[in-house]
Structure 1
């Protein structure tokens, strides 16, 4: 079977378990650096990261995020991943926000 190359937007939130601290900013910093160093478009937000790109590359980056945290000593990670795909048009995360913002202005 051929690789899945359909374009997707994935919202990802990695949750390290058993780190000994309620703070996860060190872990978020590591995976954010990894994401920003990739060639994929990424957007950090308050509850995770949006990754924009081909399905296989996005899923590979998510796997790398897990690996970098495991390599740094995190023994368990739970991830929430929401993935959207469209075939009728290309749409960036900002495009989606802009559409809603425009509609909000029209409600006034």
Structure 2
């Protein structure tokens, strides 16, 4: 089944058993993969937000897993994924932030 709705997916891959508390090498590798995709991605302190068609976003997340398993010899990966969809309008992560910032400004004026 092909799902064509657009989504915003917030994803955090957690490599397990790397032997180090640092995962910056793994984060760098999957961030490069995400940035090289045609999808819009936003890196943040606890993961990456990916925008695009559902199937393409999920495929990219799968590619991230595959990259870490095959190129970085990570045996186990746990992922946290939160996905939002809406059909009434198109909305970017920045659009969502801007709405809250405007409302905060309004609260501070009152």
* Structure 1 vs Structure 2 CA RMSD: 0.5
Alpha-carbon distance in 2 for matches of 1:76, 1:7 = 29
User: Residues 61-91 of structure 1, C-alpha deviation per residue, up to 9 Å, x if partnerless?
Assistant: 0000000000120000000000000000000
Task: Report matched runs for 1:84-103 at 5 Å.
Answer: 84-103=84-103
Normalised TM-score (structure 1): 0.98
Alpha-carbon distance in 2 for matches of 1:65, 1:100 = 31
Match of 2:51?
Answer: 52
Question: What is the CA-CA distance between 1:107 and the residue it aligns to?
Answer: 0.4
Alpha-carbon distance in 2 for matches of 1:84, 1:91 = 10
Is 1:106 equivalent to 2:102 in the alignment? no
Runs of 4+ in 1 over 6 A off after TM superposition: none
User: Residues 4-57 of structure 1, C-alpha deviation per residue, up to 9 Å, x if partnerless?
Assistant: 010000000000000000000000000000000000000000000000000000
Is 1:32 equivalent to 2:31 in the alignment? yes
SS at match of 1:74: coil
Alpha-carbon distance in 2 for matches of 1:100, 1:36 = 26
- Equivalenced residues, count: 107
Match of 1:74?
Answer: 74
Normalised TM-score (structure 2): 0.96
